[in-house]
Amino acid sequence: MRNLLVHLDSSAQTKSRLELAVALATRMGSRLVGIFAQTQRSVTSGVVAAWPPAEYVAARTAAEDAFMAATGGLVDRAFMDLNRGEESDILAQAVDLARHFDLVVCGQPSAEIQAAPGDLIERIVVDSGRPVLVVPHAGHFPDTGRKPMFTWNDSREAARAFVDGIRITVKDAEAVVVSVSKPGDPEIGYRKASLQFAVAHLKAHGISGRADQALASDIGLMDALLNEAADFGADLLVLGAFGGQGYPRFSRGSGSRFMLKHMTLPVLLSH
């Protein structure tokens, strides 16, 4: 991946995802672009709205200074200001911009941190056609892709995420491909063979891996995946996101949203 985009805002969590984005860009020899985007109301005087307000300008300047300081060792870097404050404008422009990059790095959404639209990640993943690496708001993650856990459920989304995950995995990585099922799932037997194809796919790219089938008897599938990641000591979880399963429509992607809320390690989401 030679062209990376990292989302910046005024939250303290920006530092962590910027550090990880710089580490990836350094390792892969990539161009890194920082995009400042956060919600902000314009200042009105009578019927006239003034944009950008001083608060926005100060936050943008601080973000640019931090970005330039963190990326001083990169050959190719650039800072961009989306220069929009309304959620709808931010979402539309962020999705459009993301299409011109190989990977987008974002921070985990949080109810306490509302600098950016809450559905920014979902919109980019679903509408841009690009993978998103989400960095947790708690913890320190100086690098990723050295001990990845690939999730597998035979879906289109899983296949797409698998290939995207390979692209940020180091060649000497120790990987595992995990399938989690509920007891009695009729696909368990078929998935055992499918997992071996996935491991062979990793091997073709020079990545050592093994397969693991897990049962989620008393917990949800996403909780089971997080448990598997913790047991393995993974530094990256690769997940096919926002699939078409689920009825009614609002339940589709519920597993992905659960993961975004409860993630404890960097998660690569692809649709």
- Can you tell me the distance from the alpha carbon of 263 to that of 130, in angstroms, rounded to the nearest whole number? 20
Using CA atoms, how far apart are residues 95 and 122, in angstroms rounded to an integer?
10
Number of domains present in the structure of the chain:
2
CATH code of residue 260:
3.40.50.620
- Residue where a domain terminates, one of 81, 110, 135: 135
Clarify whether residues 67 and 101 are in a common domain. Answer: yes
Q: Which domain holds residue 94?
A: 3-135
Residues 115 and 154 in one domain: no
Buried b or exposed e, range 40-67, using 16+ CB within 10 angstroms: beeeeeeeeeeebbeebeebbeebbebb
Distance CA 262, CA 264 (A): 7
Amino acid identity for residue 112 in this structure: E
pLDDT for the residue 218: 86
Pair 177, 130 in one domain: no
Neighbouring residues of 107: CB distance < 8 A, sequence distance ≥ 6: 7, 9, 11, 13, 14, 16, 17, 113, 134, 135, 137
pLDDT by 10-residue block (mean), the chain, 271 residues: 98 96 98 95 62 89 98 98 90 98 96 84 97 96 98 95 98 95 84 95 97 91 96 98 58 84 98 96
pLDDT at 18: 98
Q: CB of 191 within 8 A of CB of 152?
A: yes
Residues 156 and 127 in one domain: no
Residue 161 within any structural domain of the chain: yes
pLDDT of residue 105: 99
How much is the pLDDT for 245? 54
Would 243 be classed as within a structural domain? yes
Helix, strand, coil share (%) of the chain residues, nearest 5:
40, 25, 40
| pLDDT at residue 140, as a whole number | 93
- From the list 73, 238, 95, the residue with the least C-alpha distance to 155 is 238
Looking at residue 49, its pLDDT comes to 63
Q: What are phi and psi of 135, to 5 degrees?
A: -105, 130
Domain boundary among 97, 113, 135: 135
Other C-beta atoms closer than 10 Å to the C-beta of 186 total 7
Q: Is position 245 within any domain?
A: yes
Together in a domain, 106 and 185: no
The answer to whether residue 41 sits within a structural domain is yes
Does residue 100 share a domain with residue 160? Answer: no
Cα–Cα separations (whole angstroms), residue 241 to 43, 66, 123, 133, 236: 38, 31, 11, 12, 15
